[in-house]
Amino acid sequence: MKEKETTLKVIAEKLNISITTVSKALKNYSDVSPTTREKVLELARELHYTPNSFAVNLRTKESKTIGLIIPEVVHHFFSSVINGIIAEAEKNEYLVIILQSNESLELEKKQVQLLINKRVDGIIMSLSNESNDDDHIREIIHRNIPFVMFDKISKMIPCSKVIIDDQKAASAAVEHLITVGCKKIAHIRGPVNPQNAIDRFLGYKKALEKNNISFDKNLVFTCVRVSFEEGYEFAKQICKNHPDVDGIFVITDLVAVGVLAYLNENNIKVPEQIAVIGFSNWFMSQVIKPKLSTVDQPSYEMGVSAFNLLLKEIRAVKEDKPKVIENLILDTQLIIRESSKK
Amino acid sequence: MKEKETTLKVIAEKLNISITTVSKALKNYSDVSPTTREKVLELARELHYTPNSFAVNLRTKESKTIGLIIPEVVHHFFSSVINGIIAEAEKNEYLVIILQSNESLELEKKQVQLLINKRVDGIIMSLSNESNDDDHIREIIHRNIPFVMFDKISKMIPCSKVIIDDQKAASAAVEHLITVGCKKIAHIRGPVNPQNAIDRFLGYKKALEKNNISFDKNLVFTCVRVSFEEGYEFAKQICKNHPDVDGIFVITDLVAVGVLAYLNENNIKVPEQIAVIGFSNWFMSQVIKPKLSTVDQPSYEMGVSAFNLLLKEIRAVKEDKPKVIENLILDTQLIIRESSKK
DNA sequence: TTTGAAAACGAAAACGTTTTCGAAAGTGCC
DNA sequence: GGCACTTTCGAAAACGTTTTCGTTTTCAAA
């Protein structure tokens, strides 16, 4: 009792008209009489006709689908960005295919290839920690596929980007620590590769210089996995080896929470003995004790903007117009809570 | 200088052979001579040929893409499930389109329609709090589209499901509270609709009955948004109106963290005065003070299993075999931490 | 009735692939 | 040289849609 799929052909045959006319009627072409249009629309409704998107894709050469590659889904920041992207995409009738690079360059390459083969209309991406300026990214550009990077970007790639001013935001965070009286500030930084880890580090350094605090490279600790455990561990090292540290600027809230956990367990008073400030404004940071000071990153808006930039490019490419490269720098906000109020 | 796309036709013309032979050579058909096959493969590599997936989709009637609808992306449990699904999908060369219903029935309906029109090969779904046994779900079944539900399911829909035994797990959690000496146990439950909120409530009730503790409906508090704030608020109500409550079983960790926040702020000792147990084993629950007891839900595995069930169905449908409905019940684990050790 | 323009329709090509089936060419054997 | 295979190839249909462009029909004005 296999039901036959409703196609234009089926409708055409039932009404004894041509496929062409059926198609036109459904797409509101002007050269079909009101009478036939009505008949077509009614029968289409009755038979639950939906255009075969495979055929439409082939014919129009677009799939109304974009690809998104991010390092990690289970992450407050990234899942918020995803949220923004798919919400905005849906508004514009686009669907989103999500891939997770797991911070692996190899996987990332495979996934870019997958998306290219899939012929998505565009790609949004945040780089894995391992990758930087690589061939797979260049191929996207070379193929003239609309492409937007956000957050973890490569400065070398000529494409639209949505970022924050990491250096400035980090500087502000560290200056805040200085303002509340910190004299010796440690920095738990992100991995070596990612641009934003570099920039936050540079911001840290700049704030010290500006306030005539000498930079000590022994006070910089580099995360590899960017985890709670690393925060805990580095906090321990700091307390053991640098008892005079009175402030810590941490690459991201999750790690900062690890720092707080160690300090709490060892009865080191925050912020009295050591002030702590994180980055990203993770939901959890206002829930723990003491509430964590941090830098708010507009993650949802980042997703929205990234999609809109991509949409612009998609439209430009479609009309064979030259590609416009836009760099969007979103505002961040210093959020001062208990962990840095002296 | 628009480059021409490499198609079978282009390769065929350059080699002066037919499209058919090119296609066969690339797909390892046996009726093409080693010599021509080599020539084809080489040229294909040289021209970076990749099959046009739009055409392949149309021809083969499948897209190697599945759809996933979940209530919320920014949520530890769901993002872990997503993680499992896309990882397993990628292994099997499937891509995943993700949509977020935002707990809205209306959006959910639209999205199901979107996926059906997109002609995805299958759909995985977790229901929004508003929906239950509705037409849009039935249409998926009716159209014979491979379909798997997980976590928030509807018992009425005949399809494969991946769940945990919420009732049993909840019972175990509450019995644990009883074991450590709680005599009057409150329950902060989830919304009215979702099956798992119902089941956890039933588990709570059953544990009380089994231990001859009378059920008091005034000790049950119903979340609407399932938020941190609600936990905080209900904890306040419990302390004000039911000072003799000595244990709380909470629908999920996020809400339980809200409960702990209120109790901490008001110097109510956990677990000495009130023991608390949550659900889901959110990462954060082992980081706060006191560490939260909870029920571990194998979220990643849920994603993996859901995809594999779906794959089974996809294959069955493709071979016109009868659909097998499978119900997978994954194991949970009681995790006892500080918040319930008396 | 003829004419001309406007309205309504349809044939056909195109998108790029897969697959069936028949034809051609090659091989070995008597 | 004829026969029976096997190997290798290609024509063509099919998937379902969109769109161009030419044809037919209608109908008012002359």
Q: What is the mean pLDDT of residues A277-306?
A: 94
Q: Which residues have a Cβ under 8 Å from the Cβ of A322 and sit 6 or more positions away?
A: A316
Structural fold of domain B8-51: 434 Repressor (Amino-terminal Domain) (1.10.260)
From chain B residues 178-237, the ones with a CB under 8 A of any chain A CB are 228
Q: Give residue A284's pLDDT band: very low, low, confident or very high (50, 70, 90).
A: confident
Domain spans, chain A: 8-51, 64-163+299-330, 166-297+334-340
A79·B80 Cβ contact <8 A: no
pLDDT of residue B1: 39
pLDDT of residue A319: 85
pLDDT of residue B177: 98
Of 3.40.50.10490, 3.30.300.30, 3.40.50.150, 3.40.50.2300, the CATH number of B64-164+299-332 is: 3.40.50.2300
Interface test mutation site (partner A, options B118, B226, B228, max chain A beta carbons within 10 A): B118
pLDDT of residue A276: 98
pLDDT of residue B2: 52
pLDDT digits (tens, 9 = 90+) for B243-294: 999 999 999 999 999 999 999 999 999 999 999 999 999 988 988 889 999 9
Closest-CA distance of chain B to residue A74, Å: 5
Answer yes or no: are the C-beta atoms of B175 and B237 closer than 8 Å.
no
Domains B8-51 and B64-164+299-332 share a fold: no
Phi and psi angles of residue A139, each rounded to the nearest 5 degrees, phi first: -65, -35
Closest protein residue to D10 (Cα–C1')? B18
pLDDT digits (tens, 9 = 90+) for A104-155: 999 999 999 999 999 999 999 999 988 877 899 999 998 999 999 999 999 9
Q: What is the mean pLDDT of residues A225-230?
A: 94
Question: Which chain A residues are closer than 8 Å to B119 by Cβ?
Answer: 52-54
Q: Which nucleotides of D are covered by protein (CB under 7 A)?
A: 7-12, 14-22
Which residue numbers in chain B have pLDDT < 70? 1-3, 133
Whether the beta carbon of A36 falls within 7 A of nucleic chain D: the reply is no
Query: Residue A342 pLDDT more than 70?
Result: yes
pLDDT of residue A2: 52
SS (H, E, C) chain B: CCCCCCCHHHHHHHHCCCHHHHHHHHCCCCCCCHHHHHHHHHHHHHCCCCCCHHHHHHHHCCCCEEEEEECCCCCHHHHHHHHHHHHHHHHCCCEEEEEECCCCHHHHHHHHHHHHHHCCCEEEECCCCCCCCCHHHHHHHHCCCCEEEECCCCCCCCCEEEEECHHHHHHHHHHHHHHCCCCCEEEEECCCCCHHHHHHHHHHHHHHHHCCCCCCHHHEEECCCCCHHHHHHHHHHHHHHCCCCCEEEECCHHHHHHHHHHHHHCCCCCCCCCEEECCECCHHHHCCCCCCEEEECCHHHHHHHHHHHHHHHHHHHHCCCCCCCCEEEECCEEECCHHHCC
A79·B83 Cβ contact <8 A: no
Residue B82 (CA) to nucleotide C9 (C1'), in angstroms, measures 50
The residue among A150, A128, A127, A190 whose CA lies nearest residue A299 is A150
Q: Which nucleotides of C are covered by protein (CB under 7 A)?
A: 7-12, 14-22
Q: Does A80 touch chain B (CB under 8 A)?
A: yes
pLDDT digits (tens, 9 = 90+) for A300-341: 999 999 999 999 999 999 888 888 899 999 999 999 999 998
Closest-CA distance of chain A to residue B295, Å: 19
B53·A118 Cβ contact <8 A: yes
Domain B166-296+334-340's class?
alpha beta
pLDDT of residue A3: 64
B287·A261 Cβ contact <8 A: yes
Q: Does A61 touch chain B (CB under 8 A)?
A: yes
Interface test mutation site (partner B, options A2, A52, A53, max chain B beta carbons within 10 A): A53
A289·B289 Cβ contact <8 A: yes
Question: Which chain A residues are closer than 8 Å to B118 by Cβ?
Answer: 53, 65, 95
Whether the beta carbon of B28 falls within 7 A of nucleic chain D: the reply is no
From chain A residues 279-298, the ones with a CB under 8 A of any chain B CB are 284, 287-289
**Strand-by-strand arrangement of the B275-277 sheet:** B220-222, B185-189, B247-250, B275-277
Whether the beta carbon of A4 falls within 7 A of nucleic chain D: the reply is no
pLDDT of residue B3: 64
Strand, helix or coil at A70? strand
Answer yes or no: are the C-beta atoms of B94 and A98 closer than 8 Å.
no
Classify domain A64-163+299-330 by CATH number.
3.40.50.2300
Residue A26 (CA) to nucleotide D13 (C1'), in angstroms, measures 27
Our CA angle for A84, A88, A90, nearest 5°, is 120
pLDDT of residue B88: 97
% of chain A surpassing 90 pLDDT? 89
pLDDT of residue A1: 40
Question: Which chain A residues are closer than 8 Å to B285 by Cβ?
Answer: none
Classify domain A166-297+334-340 by CATH number.
3.40.50.2300
Q: Give residue A203's pLDDT band: very low, low, confident or very high (50, 70, 90).
A: very high
